[in-house]
Structure 1
Amino acid sequence: MLARLPLVWLLLMAALATFAFCFAIDRWMKERKLTVVFLVISVGCCLGMIAVGGAQVQNWNARQMLVLYSFAWTGLTIGMFPTRKLLITYGDEYRHGIQREKYEYPKRYFAALLFSVILMCFLAFVLAT
């Protein structure tokens, strides 16, 4: 259904999802280099998803993979929302030169992140076919 949209709209959807993710990381961590790294990783993941989708037996096309990427990245951003205070704290400590030996990431935050990404990927699968 969504894969039938013009390619420009799908690219805009992917760009908006990437922007939302990078904006959230920038707001929470307040580290520009990290934001740029996540931007490069996001673009690489998008291109990688398109390549892997074309190599599959089912042969998902680029439009379907752009829908999947957009929904997955939106789910990632939504799933990271509960951890924003924790990320702000870790970002402040990093900027002040404080390094912990181990950074705690509670299981409930990980569960929320996983649930959000899986739900959005399922929705993308339904809407892309």
Structure 2
Amino acid sequence: MMGTTDTGWWSAAVVTTALHCSAMAAWIPVRRFRIVYPFAIVGCGAFVAVAVDVRLYVLSLVGLTIGLWPTRGLLTRWSHEIARGVTRERYDWPRSHLAFCVLCVTGGAIAASALAR
């Protein structure tokens, strides 16, 4: 797959990864998360980009970033609570936020499959 896609998609993958990791670092201001998350997303993304298609990685990551936008306040509040030592038994995600996130990631995956044809 690497040889079949042009360098534009690989450049988009780098930019998308940087923007997504920056957004997540702003929304979840925990030092350990800021260090570990980029490695995790790049590791998983490299597998998807090489084994499946780089377009799927790019558009799904865009969908994930957009899909988490409504929940950014909750993520920040929960990370501050965890840093203070407050633990909850459950973290209740609003169903509408979860549905929006799933819709955005699925839309990105569908768009990637349409572009792959």
Q: CA deviation at 1:51?
A: 4.8
The aligned residue for residue 94 of structure 1 is 82
Query: Identity across aligned pairs (percent)?
Result: 29
Return the letter of the residue paired with 2:110.
F
Rounded Cα–Cα distance in structure 2 between residues aligned with 1:41 and 1:89: 23
Q: CA deviation at 1:52?
A: 3.6
Deviation digits for residues 63-87 of structure 1 (CA, Å, limit 9, x no counterpart) = xx11110000010000000101111
Rounded Cα–Cα distance in structure 2 between residues aligned with 1:96 and 1:87: 14
**Pairs aligned (count):** 115
Rounded Cα–Cα distance in structure 2 between residues aligned with 1:84 and 1:36: 19
Rounded Cα–Cα distance in structure 1 between residues aligned with 2:45 and 2:108: 16
The aligned residue for residue 32 of structure 1 is 31
Rounded Cα–Cα distance in structure 1 between residues aligned with 2:84 and 2:46: 35
The aligned residue for residue 62 of structure 2 is 74
Structure 2 gaps, min length 5: none
Structure 1 gaps, min length 5: 54-64
Q: CA deviation at 1:47?
A: 2.1
**TM-score between both structures, scaled by the size of structure 2:** 0.87
Return the letter of the residue paired with 1:6.
D
CA RMSD after TM alignment: 1.8
Rounded Cα–Cα distance in structure 1 between residues aligned with 2:62 and 2:50: 20
